[in-house]
Amino acid sequence: MDISIIGTGHVGLVTGACFADLGNRVMMVDDDRRKIALLKRGGMPFYEPGLEELVRRGVAQRRIRFAASIKDAVDHSLIIFICVGTPARPNGEADLSAVERVCHAIAKSLRAYRLLVEKSTVPVETGEWITRTCQLTIRRGVPFDVASNPEFLREGQAVQDFLHPDRIVLGVESTRAKSLLLELYKPIKSPVIVTDVKSAELIKHASNSFLAVKLSFINTVARLCEQVGADVVKVAEGMGLDRRIGRAFLDAGVGYGGSCFPKDVAAFIRIAEKLGGDFQLLKAAARVNDEQRRHFVTRVRETLWNLNHKTIGVLGLAFKPDTDDLREAPSIDIVRMFQEEGAQVRAFDPKAMAHADGVFPGVAFCKDVYETARGADCLVLLTEWNEFKELDFARLKKLMRHPTVIDGRNVYDPGALRRLGFRYVGTGRGHAPH
């Protein structure tokens, strides 16, 4: 099939590259010319495992092309995916101006039937706005459909998630739109939910928000564990074996970050407000998440007594492993709070340091874990990269001023570290030692 992708961010590029790999001809458009030039040269605008290879293959086999304009893309494709950004406004509401601009541009170029698919995360009723906007511009008599096909791609696993999803959600209002999307997704074997556009839009926001609530729930339980000396890892294991609950997203930590959860939770709260509701549960989840970062700093302070004049080695800056993304990363607030209390911060991240310039003023970036540990009063782990899991702790102990590890993601075995002579403080794993 001939499809086009408007917007080559995380969602658009992964969607386009995967559809191309499944045998479709894909045209990609982005108004960021530098990004398109980089892609044409074979470069990648961000790190995502497996993606570079797919893009290269698609380009080499001429299944991926970069269109010069939206008109070019509309002329050559039957299905057009809208994957542009929907950033948060100061009041939490999603800013849909990029979606609107793209709709106008598509509508102006439409000469024959096209299916417009919203893939960007948008508030419920955006499909209606897209339809109305297009109706105002499109030449009379030119048919079109609008569908919603939300994505559930996790950064770092996006290619896997695209090709092996838990479900495919198709929000459609016509049989033509439904059969086109079913045909396009045919090679992917997974349950398909076909519904109306508004329900599909809600599935996306409700799913991300539910996961955020689950995380804030376990982080609250983690704080209780710290007070009574219990272990949240065991609590999560015990809860997770109940199939109605499930073990996923019960890893207590420094709170969620990234370009999706914080923004989508805020947007869902605003959607409810605009419709006259008050999503108190979600507001509480967002508050717990903010507090979790402060709470972590308190725990570090309780362990070191004072942060002033201390040297803290930070392992991991990205909001989660396998990505170089620093958007809304808990590390940003945590490092700033360390510095505000007078600590010197040294840090290492396997991928995110490439984008860390200006984000972490005053931080000494190191070439690896061992350089980060040199002279440190403690090491704090903020992102659970695999390469941090197996370390030479004997070497670290010699390098550090004090052998203390504060584990924001519970990756280490407390007993093993203590046997090696470290003070170990986990998250939701007993009291902080004084």
State the burial class of residue 374 (Cβ atoms within 10 Å of its Cβ: 0-12, 13-18, 19+). Answer: middle
Sorted by sequence, the CB contacts under 8 Å of residue 370 that are 6+ apart come out as 392, 395, 396, 399
We find the least distance from the C-beta atom of residue 104 to ligand UGA, in angstroms, to be: 25
Q: Do 335 and 363 contact (CB within 8 A), yes or no?
A: yes
152 binds ligand UGA (CB under 6 A): yes
Nearest to 427 by CA among 230, 272, 162: 230
Binding residue count for ligand UGA, defined by CB under 6 A? 21
Q: Can you tell me the distance from the alpha carbon of 144 to that of 111, in angstroms, rounded to the nearest whole number? A: 10
By C-beta, is 30 or 384 nearer to ligand UGA?
384
Q: What are phi and psi of 395, to 5 degrees?
A: -65, -40
Closest CA to 26 of 8, 48, 52, 51: 8
* Near ligand UGA by CB under 6 A: residue from 171, 253, 313, 403: 253
Closest CA to 212 of 149, 279, 164: 279
151 counts as binding ligand UGA under rule CB under 6 A: yes
Should residue 210 be labelled a site residue for ligand UGA when binding is judged by CB under 6 A? no
Helix (H/G/I), strand (E/B), else coil: 398: helix
| Tokens at 332, concatenated | 């940003």
Contacts of 179 (CB under 8 A, 6+ apart): none
Collapsing DSSP states into helix, strand and coil, what is residue 378?
strand
Least CB distance to ligand UGA at residue 138 (A): 30
Q: Is 261 in the site for ligand UGA (CB under 6 A)?
A: yes
Part in contact with ligand UGA (CB under 6 A); list of ranges 64-72, 122-130, 148-156, 420-428: 148-156
Write down the least CB distance from residue 260 to ligand UGA, Å: 3
List binders of ligand UGA among 179-208 (CB under 6 A). 208
- Minimum separation from the CB atom of position 148 to ligand UGA (A): 14
Closest CB to ligand UGA among residues 261, 296: 261
Q: Considering only CA atoms, give the Rg of the chain.
A: 24
54-93 binders of ligand UGA (CB under 6 A): none
30 vs 155, beta carbon nearer ligand UGA: 155
- Can you tell me which of 9, 258, 414, 426 binds ligand UGA, judged by CB under 6 A? 258
Listing DSSP states for 158-210 in one string gives HHHHHHS-S-EEEE-SSHHHHHHHHHHHTTS-S-EEEE-HHHHHHHHHHHHHH
CB of 289 to ligand UGA, least distance (A): 9
Least separation in angstroms between residue 352's CB and ligand UGA is 12
Which residue in the set 127, 165, 257, 316 belongs to the binding site for ligand UGA (CB under 6 A)?
Answer: 257
Interface with ligand UGA includes 153 (CB under 6 A)?
Answer: yes
> Which of the stretches 54-62, 139-147, 258-266, 371-379 binds ligand UGA when contact is defined by CB under 6 A?
258-266
Mark residues 296-325: x for contact with ligand UGA by CB under 6 A, - for none. -----------------------xx-----
So which residues are the catalytic ones? 260
- Write out the H or E segment, with its range, that includes residue 349: none
Q: What are phi and psi of 133, to 5 degrees?
A: -60, -45
Shortest distance, CB of residue 188 to ligand UGA, whole angstroms?
Answer: 16
Catalog residues that contact ligand UGA under the rule CB under 6 A: 121, 151-155, 208, 211, 215, 249-251, 253, 256-258, 260-261, 264, 319-320
